[in-house]
Structure 1
């Protein structure tokens, strides 16, 4: 029972992260057939994963050189939790050997020397190189960079090709946008929290209709809306804490969704 609960808890936490790389600007070095969208860098952040073959139009494909670089620009600094990479498959899956020794960086620029190394492959072999790769990397940054190289004069392990390609079909970067040191609603731990402090997880702005340190309380009776600052019509017998509609009905002599119409049929501003 404990294991089941733990797994559910972990799922709840991980499911809060969103793929912040989806449809963001991307670049790759040495694209195969430059200008042909079939092999464009943007294919690796388009969310499509139904055809991960060489010419399926869903992969970023480059041709073999000594250096292979691909990156996605998240357009602003994000708090990143983990990264998933889908490599090329199908009849050209032999190209996966070109990925041996690859690295993943997170940086605020496109320069890996100014970034943080999240992962450096030193253990994969032609038999163990995965088609789908996952790595946890709790780092703040704007660019996620895939990088590989084959330096002249260096003796590489068995299975390493002489040249390297990018050949990646989807890169998913799971994390949270950061605005003024705050996370957005998708990444806050409390369900009714709209913005929370990225360091303490304390909610600083609740969803309309809620209040409290963890936004766990509906607005007190008679109030509704953002910050619970709006007052319900006093002709309501009880109003909705989010939009102020008189869900519980009206006092005698009043009608309408907000109990703002007298029986004379004339709307009254209250």
Structure 2
């Protein structure tokens, strides 16, 4: 057993020497002469490391298939590997005192040892093994791709490497649904709920649109939720009265429209421990209907969303809900009585909606650009093909 242990350690020592020889063989003088001092490539990082020499940083980049350049901060021995280089995104190549930038193509591949001959995939990294062998492991999730996705607001320390995160937003003329935070999972895929859709008209702001609510608290009338002000403090919100078993707020367009999504801003006074928050927003539901809230029960409507949050947890106070229906009314309703105001002897189901935006198109249109139907009033929402059945159904309502 001792002999085997000694033999293993001797082999490890020999392998370390061989790796050193690989690095020594590489011509480093030319590479060092091409370093860019006081420069850095921003916001295109794969990952980062502490305690690295610049040569360690170069070697890691050479072993990472997607890596195109490095940033190195010599004072802190801090390394960043990048998936772009200064010539591909010149607008992100900036002056940054203390940093050193280098294109990986300026370095001899032999620095990577056995990995200089690797066939790892684009999202993999080569890991050297004894006896001039190597293995490949997943290194990153790649650049997030999707219709309307924009990297314009990626932050300085965002990265595409495993366990790292990126902030991706929707491009101009696109409406954002979901969170902008992407997290790279260990299997090389992004965890995200973001989707981007071309902007639809805010139907809530049409001249004929009327907002009503089941009751009114003080001066917090329903129309406040349709004034374009998205502040979420009490004076800026439509609020229903106390001591009712049900509360609702209704958006009436006056005629059916193709609805795409509904964005709701609920009351939240602040982040402090004593600030009133979106307690009343738990367990609300969102319906679409061709009949008003006073004429229908929930079973007669089409449900778009139900919140299942229970105390003490809180839902988000700003929520964007897909609701792909053709309807005249959008109804937000609740029967939930939040316990947080019981000490004030305030009871009942209450809604505190500060703004509601309903995005969509007129019914005689199709597609994300709301193109007019040709030859009919009602057509398929995606293809524009005339839909006789839908036309008969809508005319019968």
TM range (shorter): 0.5 to 0.7
My pick for the range that moved more, 142-151 or 7-16, is 7-16
- Superposed, 1:49-64 pairs within 5 Å as 49=230, 51-55=231-235, 58-64=236-242
Q: Is the Cα contact below 8 Å between 1:18 and 1:174 reproduced in 2?
A: yes
Partner of 2:355: 170
Partner of 1:75: 254
- Whether 1:20 and 2:203 are equivalent positions in the alignment is yes
CA 1:31–1:95 in 2, change beyond 3 Å: closer, same or farther? farther
Cα deviation 1:52-72 (Å, max 9, x = unaligned): 2112xx310122222111101
- CA distance in 2 between counterparts of 1:141 and 1:70 reads 16
- CA distance in 2 between counterparts of 1:80 and 1:44 reads 18
SS in structure 1 at match of 2:217: coil
CA 1:7–1:160 in 2, change beyond 3 Å: closer, same or farther? farther
- CA distance in 2 between counterparts of 1:63 and 1:168 reads 13
Among 219, 228, 245, the alignment partner of 1:66 is 245
- Whether 1:100 and 2:282 are equivalent positions in the alignment is yes
TM-score of the aligned structures, taking structure 2 as reference length: 0.41
My pick for the range that moved more, 130-139 or 9-18, is 9-18
- CA distance in 2 between counterparts of 1:30 and 1:104 reads 18
Structure 1 residues not aligned, in runs of 5+? 189-193, 205-270
Instruction: Identify the structure with bigger relative contact order (alpha carbons < 8 Å, sequence gap 6+).
Output: 1
- Whether 1:31 and 2:216 are equivalent positions in the alignment is yes
CA 1:200–1:166 in 2, change beyond 3 Å: closer, same or farther? closer
RMSD: 3.2
Q: Is the Cα contact below 8 Å between 1:17 and 1:176 reproduced in 2?
A: yes
Q: Is the Cα contact below 8 Å between 2:281 and 2:317 reproduced in 1?
A: no
SS in structure 2 at match of 1:72: strand
- CA distance in 2 between counterparts of 1:5 and 1:129 reads 27
Partner of 1:115: 301
CA 1:105–1:203 in 2, change beyond 3 Å: closer, same or farther? closer
CA 1:5–1:42 in 2, change beyond 3 Å: closer, same or farther? same
- Whether 1:3 and 2:183 are equivalent positions in the alignment is no
Offset at residue 144 of structure 1 (A): 0.5
- CA distance in 2 between counterparts of 1:195 and 1:70 reads 32
Q: Which has the higher helix share?
A: 2
SS in structure 1 at match of 2:216: coil
CA 1:136–1:124 in 2, change beyond 3 Å: closer, same or farther? farther
Q: Is the Cα contact below 8 Å between 1:100 and 1:124 reproduced in 2?
A: yes
- CA distance in 1 between counterparts of 2:261 and 2:341 reads 26
Q: Is the Cα contact below 8 Å between 1:105 and 1:117 reproduced in 2?
A: yes
Partner of 1:88: 267
- Whether 1:135 and 2:294 are equivalent positions in the alignment is no
How many residues matched? 185
SS in structure 2 at match of 1:44: helix
CA 1:202–1:103 in 2, change beyond 3 Å: closer, same or farther? closer
Partner of 1:44: 225
Structure 2 residues not aligned, in runs of 5+? 1-141, 151-169, 175-195, 387-397
CA 1:200–1:85 in 2, change beyond 3 Å: closer, same or farther? closer
SS in structure 2 at match of 1:77: strand
Offset at residue 166 of structure 1 (A): 1.3
SS in structure 2 at match of 1:21: helix
Cα deviation 1:32-53 (Å, max 9, x = unaligned): 12xx3xx11011122111x321
